[in-house]
Chains A and B, each alone.
Chain A
Amino acid sequence: MRTPDAMFTYDFMQNAFAAAGIVAVVSGLVGFFLVLRAQTFAGHALSHVGFAGATGAVLVGLPPLWGLVALTLAAGIGMGFLGERLHQRDVAIGIVLAMSLGCGLLFLHFFTAYATQATALLFGNILGVDAETIWTLLGLGIVAVTALGAISRPLLFASLQPELAEAKGVSLRFVSVLFLAVVALAVAECAQIVGVLLVFALMVGPAAAAQQCTLRFWHGIALAVVLALAEAWLGLVLAFITDWPTSFWITTLSGGVYLLASLTRNLPTLRYRPRP
């Protein structure tokens, strides 16, 4: 048991807070649309595809983050092009997801020196983030958020009213491809913090909880970001105090906040009040 006052005297904790902050903002923003579009399973699958990319990169001597980004991006764009045909294809997505984990396992098998790499990729290794990785996360995050900002208006319209959006001149496929490319970047970032298996905790949890709490678009977006930040940072603090894994605390907080949000939704006093 440690007290949190000495926390920021450690470089690795400073790095961890910076990395978690960047990733939480990206995850909250992207996750909000992912939940709104009911594409959370696609996000989950992308992270597993990323595992094969990361382990493959390690095998050929590249940084795992680049393999992760490259393969999630390719898979995200591919899914976007399939678009409607992928809708309700949970089995197909699930099989690709399992195959990717299998390939990742094979790559690890060939490169046994990196046995600890497996745990880091699967469950995250936030305390091992170095300064260079932070800059990479910041760069990728800026790209993802800028792209999301640019497409958010037609994306929202297409998510709510696809037929009408199409009639008004929105290219549903183009918007879908761009969005899943953004999701792929966010997933790759997120996997750095909580690992490929737990991406749901940071991408989906805060956004889903936010949509339980408010019905307004902008309030929901803001709340998703605030919750993601709070869960990520509080998870780090708790990990520092208890010496338990950070990913455990983040997933627990994420699950707890979602549960609480779902429960309070049914309490009349806390319900949304309209603007006068």
Chain B
Amino acid sequence: MSAIELSNVTLTFAGRPVLSNITLAVRDHEFVGVLGPNGSGKTTLMRAILGLVPLRTGTIRVLGRPVATGNPAVGYLPQMRGLLDTMRLSGWDFVASGINGHRWGLPLSGAAGRREVGWALEMVQAQDLARRPLAEISGGERQRLLLAQALLGRPRLLLLDEPLISLDPHHQRAVVELVRELQRELNIAVLFSAHEINPLLGALDRVLYLGGGQAALGTVDEVITGPVLSKLYGSPIDVVHLNGGIFVMAGCLHVERDAHRHAHAGRHVHV
């Protein structure tokens, strides 16, 4: 069974097509890095897999079933927002708000819920963070709490939207390694979107590269190549291997690094 199956899927964002007629399958227990320039549809694709975006054409199957919102088997880490910067609430309460958070009534987590929160925090080694206010923890620590929240309900598929954004290289590596460990230990499928391939090298099984309404899924060596990326970007792209890193260049411009800088300026990148 595939974790995600897309057949002839077309997606639009704000009336503009972002993905056209995509067919691909992500295998069970697979770590897939999702890359592509801003606006290539990384977030829109994840939201479509969560059932939050209507499909213009085609079908999506998630873990063998037609896509639907509220699937407890799918965990999600949305892109970081500024709101949490001022939140005077403990990390524990933040994570625990995800326990049956969709049900009506009072936000009581119950004994089973508290055990589940404890388990999720332990999985990401964030027990200490749980006692501190959200407003006072670093970006990398916050991502661990968000990851713990995504693990509630023991999902079999994790969708992580730009968890490396605004982290320094050291913390980027820590987050990638943590996700890789979780993915192996829990034996789940992971979709991990990022602006740059390099932090993910060594951790991912395959790459899903989006661009120009198209998508390419394969190993790093198959996808991160001049011909494939030139087609996705719609302009000549060179791929340079240097010191174990991969650099995607358009002429003398470092494309991925540039896109990253762009995201910082925009803060709310929602595509």
Q: Tell whether, in the assembled complex, residue B70 and residue A169 are in contact, meaning their CB atoms are under 8 Å apart.
A: yes
Q: Tell whether, in the assembled complex, residue B103 and residue A216 are in contact, meaning their CB atoms are under 8 Å apart.
A: no
Residue A160 interfacial (CB < 8 Å): yes
A220 to B101, CA, bound (A): 19
Provided the pairs A157-B97, A157-B98, A169-B70 are in contact, do residues A215 and B90 lie with their beta carbons within 8 angstroms?
A: yes
Residue B106 interfacial (CB < 8 Å): yes
Q: Tell whether, in the assembled complex, residue A150 and residue B105 are in contact, meaning their CB atoms are under 8 Å apart.
A: yes
Residue A274 interfacial (CB < 8 Å): yes
Q: Tell whether, in the assembled complex, residue B89 and residue A160 are in contact, meaning their CB atoms are under 8 Å apart.
A: yes
A168 to B155, CA, bound (A): 12
Q: Tell whether, in the assembled complex, residue B69 and residue A154 are in contact, meaning their CB atoms are under 8 Å apart.
A: no
Q: Mark B104-141, 1 if CB is under 8 A from A, else 0.
A: 11110000000000000000000000011100000000
Within 8 A of A (CB), among B35-77: 47, 50-52, 69-70, 72, 74, 76-77
Provided the pairs A164-B76, A168-B70 are in contact, do residues A153 and B88 lie with their beta carbons within 8 angstroms?
A: no
- Of B84, B88, B100, the most chain A CB neighbours within 10 A belong to B88
Q: Tell whether, in the assembled complex, residue B97 and residue A160 are in contact, meaning their CB atoms are under 8 Å apart.
A: yes
Q: Tell whether, in the assembled complex, residue B52 and residue A167 are in contact, meaning their CB atoms are under 8 Å apart.
A: yes
Residue A243 interfacial (CB < 8 Å): no
Give the interface SS of chain A, mostly helix, strand, loop or mixed.
helix
Residues of A within 8 A of B69 (CB): 166-169
Closest beta carbon of chain B to A165's beta carbon, Å: 6
Residues of A within 8 A of B13 (CB): none
Residues of B within 8 A of A164 (CB): 76-78, 98, 101, 149-150
Residue B170 interfacial (CB < 8 Å): no
Residue A63 interfacial (CB < 8 Å): no
A56 to B88, CA, bound (A): 40
Residues of A within 8 A of B233 (CB): none
| CB nearest to B46 among chain A residues | A167
A113 to B98, CA, bound (A): 55
Residues of A within 8 A of B79 (CB): 163
Q: Tell whether, in the assembled complex, residue A217 and residue B93 are in contact, meaning their CB atoms are under 8 Å apart.
A: yes
Residues of B within 8 A of A169 (CB): 69-70, 102
A145 to B149, CA, bound (A): 28
- Give 20 A-B pairs besides A153-B106, A163-B79, A169-B69 with Cβ atoms closer than 8 angstroms: A36-B87, A150-B105, A154-B101, A154-B104, A160-B94, A164-B149, A167-B50, A167-B51, A167-B52, A167-B70, A167-B76, A169-B102, A211-B89, A212-B88, A215-B131, A215-B132, A215-B133, A217-B93, A217-B107, A272-B131
Q: Tell whether, in the assembled complex, residue A161 and residue B88 are in contact, meaning their CB atoms are under 8 Å apart.
A: no
Q: Which residues of B are interface residues toward A (Cβ below 8 A)? A: 47, 50-52, 69-70, 72, 74, 76-79, 83-84, 86-90, 92-94, 97-98, 100-107, 131-133, 149-150
Count A interface residues, CB 8 Å.
Answer: 29
Closest beta carbon of chain A to B256's beta carbon, Å: 24
Provided the pairs A36-B89, A161-B149 are in contact, do residues A274 and B50 lie with their beta carbons within 8 angstroms?
A: no
Residue A170 interfacial (CB < 8 Å): yes
Residues of A within 8 A of B72 (CB): 168
A164 to B100, CA, bound (A): 12
Q: Tell whether, in the assembled complex, residue A153 and residue B101 are in contact, meaning their CB atoms are under 8 Å apart.
A: yes
Provided the pairs A152-B107, A161-B97 are in contact, do residues A170 and B102 lie with their beta carbons within 8 angstroms?
A: yes
A274 to B90, CA, bound (A): 10
A32 to B267, CA, bound (A): 28
Q: Tell whether, in the assembled complex, residue A153 and residue B107 are in contact, meaning their CB atoms are under 8 Å apart.
A: yes
Q: Tell whether, in the assembled complex, residue A154 and residue B103 are in contact, meaning their CB atoms are under 8 Å apart.
A: yes
| CB nearest to A265 among chain B residues | B88
Q: Tell whether, in the assembled complex, residue A153 and residue B93 are in contact, meaning their CB atoms are under 8 Å apart.
A: no
Residues of B within 8 A of A220 (CB): 89
Closest beta carbon of chain A to B120's beta carbon, Å: 13
Provided the pairs A157-B101, A157-B102, A164-B78 are in contact, do residues A38 and B86 lie with their beta carbons within 8 angstroms?
A: yes
A156 to B133, CA, bound (A): 16
Q: Tell whether, in the assembled complex, residue A170 and residue B88 are in contact, meaning their CB atoms are under 8 Å apart.
A: no
Residues of B within 8 A of A38 (CB): 83, 86
A242 to B139, CA, bound (A): 51
13 contacts between A and B (CB under 8 A): A36-B89, A149-B105, A153-B100, A153-B106, A154-B103, A156-B101, A164-B77, A164-B149, A166-B52, A167-B51, A215-B88, A216-B93, A217-B93
Residue A120 interfacial (CB < 8 Å): no
Closest beta carbon of chain B to A51's beta carbon, Å: 30
| CB nearest to A211 among chain B residues | B88
Residue A151 interfacial (CB < 8 Å): yes
A149 to B52, CA, bound (A): 27
A10 to B92, CA, bound (A): 48
Residues of A within 8 A of B133 (CB): 215
| CB nearest to B103 among chain A residues | A153
Within 8 A of B (CB), among A228-276: 272, 274
Closest beta carbon of chain B to A266's beta carbon, Å: 12
Q: Mark A16-57, 1 if CB is under 8 A from B, else 0.
A: 000000000000000000001010000000000000000000
A168 to B97, CA, bound (A): 12
Residues of A within 8 A of B100 (CB): 153
